[in-house]
Amino acid sequence: MPTEIEIRNGGSFDRRRKYMSTTEVRYHCPARFNDNIINDIRFEAEVLFKFVGARDFLRIDGWVLNNGKIYFSDFNPISGMEQNSFIFQQAANIGLTHGMLLEFILKNACKRCGVNYPEKFSDTLVKRSVNILLGGITSERQVSLLSGINVWMKLLQSKKYAPIPYILTKNKNTDRWEVCEVSYAFALLHTTEEIIEQINGSADNNILINSIRNRLGLKTIELNNEVQWISLKKFIEESKLQGAYIFLALHGGFGENGGIQTMLEASGVEYNGSSANASVLCMDKYKTGVKVTELNIPQLSTCKKELGGLDSSWLYLVSRLGEPIIAKPNMDGCSTGVIKLCNEKELLEYISFCRRGEMIPAGTFENQLTSIAMPEICEEILFEEYIKTDSIFIDNGELVYKNNTGWIEMTIGVLEKEGNYHAFNPSITIAENNILSVEEKFQGGIGINLTPPPENIISVTFKNKIKYFAERVAEKCGIEDYCRIDIFGNKKTEEVVVIEINTLPGLSPSTVLFQQAAKEIPSLSPLALLENIISSEEGEV
């Protein structure tokens, strides 16, 4: 089925719109054209496939003009193969999983080359159900989608667990949290809004689906379009009866602030991440800092902080923190609303966005290259001292490090099992513009992570001290299963300053937690890390 790319709010189909979850783009598969145009696109694409001598698979890009004329512009013999690339989306819409599509391609290639394709053994293992909860309504809902779908796809390879993705949202009419299972095809959409729209308005395409399957020599299927939204409470009850584990792939707000954790604990359902109490604490960045201070460990501290509101005074903040100042919502996820403020005008501008709960467009503030997501409600703002870090960047493929202040921003994952804590090696994530963007954190091919840090930047002794500090901070804050701690470290004085703790850190394919686990000895694959988090077996981490 051809996919229509709908670009909203003008502009071009750029890298960010292609590869990041954004409401500025909608994908429609099949495209919203009449049957004649869809059939013409498919017929002409097949003619071009043969004309260029393509084999096995090909992706062709093109245009349908207002007068109905069809133009083809690009031939991609090795098309993009990210988890939700077009070829996988279109295959899923005719009932093919990633594995089925790749196996179909390989079988045909082997047949053409006279190579026997080995038979695949059927999986008959009894597995525990893992119900993955993703989405939500926070500004980090798209990151939650990236995390949840990646967890689902990784666990599909597990010999222990059987994952099913579910999307969480709030019904605007009833103000009730609701959950719905996400089909394989819908799981490959780019935004939570697209998934919900498709769930609520899914069309019956079985005739088109089976006509394509028949052309490919595949069996006829009947896809079920029945939609069943249930309350979150009922979802938890059914998960308990099922003996399922609930994997929270939620970020920010209700999903990370202890709200859903309280419900799960009351129902006796196993879930990942920390308890309700620890989640409440770590969501409050100010109180987290207080807890770190209580450890009273030399050379370990937290950023100087001031809690403020929508009436905050620039002169007061500068007298306490110096300038510039870092501002962020005190009670929300790590990717929400973080900005560097350089003067009173920028403070007032930031407060106006806090009042409106609107996305901050790129270029609003000095050196702000990308848009910044804001929570719908932000009345409590955390202001922090700005710590100027050393310059670390890539120039012509070479790492350049300029040691000025000695301060370096790092992030470090910690695992917990039965009260035992183990910190991974820290990572230096290179930011193009002072503050890490969402793209640099979660989009493949954008952010650069140095894991572990090169020894000419962070010595082995200091690295081990950072790991020790991270374990003690996680223990003090009651972390369970895993977390990610963001810090500043000073290579000259070996001081460590804790920025914040994420009790449900991002688990997208490119997230630093997987990279750190892979650098462990012995190495932990992404699947092994997830199974370690889920497993309730006693033992050392």
User: pLDDT averaged over the chain?
Assistant: 91
CATH among 1.10.10.200, 2.40.50.180, 3.40.640.10, 3.30.470.20 for 4-113 = 3.30.470.20
Which helix (H) or strand (E) segment holds residue 128: the answer is strand 128-135
Looking at residue 444, what is its pLDDT? 52
Average pLDDT over residues 172-186: 94
Q: What is the pLDDT of residue 473?
A: 98
Residue ranges, comma separated, of all CATH 3.30.470.20 domains in the chain are 4-113, 273-302+388-541
Q: Where in the chain is the domain with CATH 3.30.1490.20?
A: 304-386
Asked if the 128-272 domain carries CATH number 3.40.50.300, the reply is no
Q: Phi/psi of residue 37, each to 5°?
A: -70, -40
What is the C-alpha separation between 24 and 7, in angstroms, rounded? 6
Cβ contact 256:136 at 8 Å = no
pTM of the predicted structure, to 2 decimals: 0.91
What does DSSP assign to residue 118? P
Task: Return d(Cα 138, Cα 250) in angstroms, integer.
Answer: 9
Three-state DSSP state, 21? coil
What SS3 class is residue 230?
strand
**Within a 13 Å sphere around the CA of 537, how many CA atoms are in the beta-carbon half?**
7
Residues 6+ apart with CB under 8 A from 34: none
CA–CA dist 473, 366 (Å, integer) = 34
Residues contacting residue 24 through CB under 8 Å, at least 6 positions apart: 7, 8, 9, 11, 17
Looking at residue 538, what is its pLDDT?
Answer: 46
Peptide bond into 298 cis (omega under 30): no
CATH superfamily, with its number, for domain 304-386: ATP-grasp fold, A domain (3.30.1490.20)
Burial class for 265, CB neighbours closer than 10 Å (0-12, 13-18, 19+): middle
How confident is residue 438, by pLDDT bands cut at 50, 70 and 90? low
Crossing angle of helices 259-267 and 232-242, in 10° steps, is: 40
Q: Is the model's pLDDT at 384 over the cut of 60?
A: yes
What average pLDDT score do residues 348-365 get? 92
CA angle 305, 364, 443 (to 5 degrees): 80
Assess if CATH 3.30.470.20 describes domain 273-302+388-541: yes
Where in 323-375 does DSSP place strands (E)? 325-329, 339-341
Q: Are the CB atoms for 128 and 159 separated by under 8 Å?
A: no
Predicted pLDDT at 261:
98
Residue type, 30: P
**pLDDT: is 236 or 13 the higher one?**
236
Helix (H, G, I), strand (E, B) or coil at 485: strand
Helix (H, G, I), strand (E, B) or coil at 394: strand
Residues of the chain with CATH 3.40.50.20: 128-272
